[in-house]
Structure 1
Amino acid sequence: MRVRPATTTGELLAAAHLYDAPPRPEWADRFLAAGGHLMLIAYVDGDPVGFVSGIEMLHPDKGTEMCLYELSVDERHRRRGIGRALTEALVAEARERGCYDVWVGVERDNEAALATYRSAGAADDGVFTMLTWEFTPGR
């Protein structure tokens, strides 16, 4: 397995089977052009089998932190350490970029995600509630 940053729209689109919905080329272009956006893709035999995306967030009194936005591993490749490797690679990249921490929101009953993040060194920071404003059904 090899993990490397996605740098082209083609790489993002080739990982379409790992996303929740079909990717749009114009959104992939914007993702790559946006400062602080990062996607690392895991490859096995040249095929994308997982990804982790992160977004740097900067605040005037805190500096920069990284949000682990999403992690996905192809079902056929789960339980082989790919999720942990992707998470560790994102954490290492955040450290290299000078971020003061990395955080991720996880549903409390998502045992697979919790185990993955804990195996990569994350610690529970307490109870978290997320509220959202939704504007457009289906994006």
Structure 2
Amino acid sequence: MEALDRSTEPGRLVLVAELDGVVAGFASGEERRHWSGDPELYVGELVVAKPFEGQGVGRALIDALTDHAKQRGLATVTLDTGAANTNARAFYGRLGFDEEDVKLTKWVDGMIGG
């Protein structure tokens, strides 16, 4: 996993959530510049193991990432998810994330999705 391999680099972190001694999920973050120029914490990965979904693990990881961003004086926490991933978009919306960017993709004939 790239996030774990790079976790010791400056401005990067990996958080692991455990419940009853079992890894329930993890998240990775990276300090960078938002398109506005302000410093941000970019969430590269947020994963919750299926048996732990709906138990607050994802929320706890996002809360911990947000606390880290505050402590570091970062202006925002950002992440990407697919437009069709309505469950994730609703989850992030409930946690206070605003949809900000729109990514457009044109499939070229003969390529994946085209």
- Settle same-fold status: TM greater than 0.5: yes
Residues matched between the structures, number: 104
In structure 2, the residue matched to 1:108 is 83
- The amino acid across from 2:19 in the alignment is V
Q: 1:80 to 1:37 in 2, by over 3 A?
A: same
The reply to whether residue 50 of structure 1 matches residue 25 of structure 2 is yes
User: Which of 94, 99, 103 is equivalent to 2:69?
Assistant: 94
Ranges in structure 1 where 5+ consecutive residues have no aligned partner:
1-22, 131-139
CA RMSD in angstroms comes to 2.2
Deviations 1:30-62 (A, max 9, x none): 423200111111110121110111100148x83
Alignment of 1:71-82 (within 5 A): 71-82=46-57
- The amino acid across from 2:78 in the alignment is W
> Percentage identity across aligned positions?
32
CA contact (8 A) 1:49 1:73 kept: yes
Q: Which has the higher helix share?
A: 1
Deviations 1:72-104 (A, max 9, x none): 000111012211111121111111111111111
TM-score of the superposed pair, with normalisation by structure 2: 0.78
- The amino acid across from 2:98 in the alignment is A
In structure 2, the residue matched to 1:117 is 92
Alignment of 1:1-139 (within 5 A): 23=1, 28=4, 30-58=5-33, 62-129=37-104
Ranges in structure 2 where 5+ consecutive residues have no aligned partner:
106-114
CA contact (8 A) 1:36 1:55 kept: yes
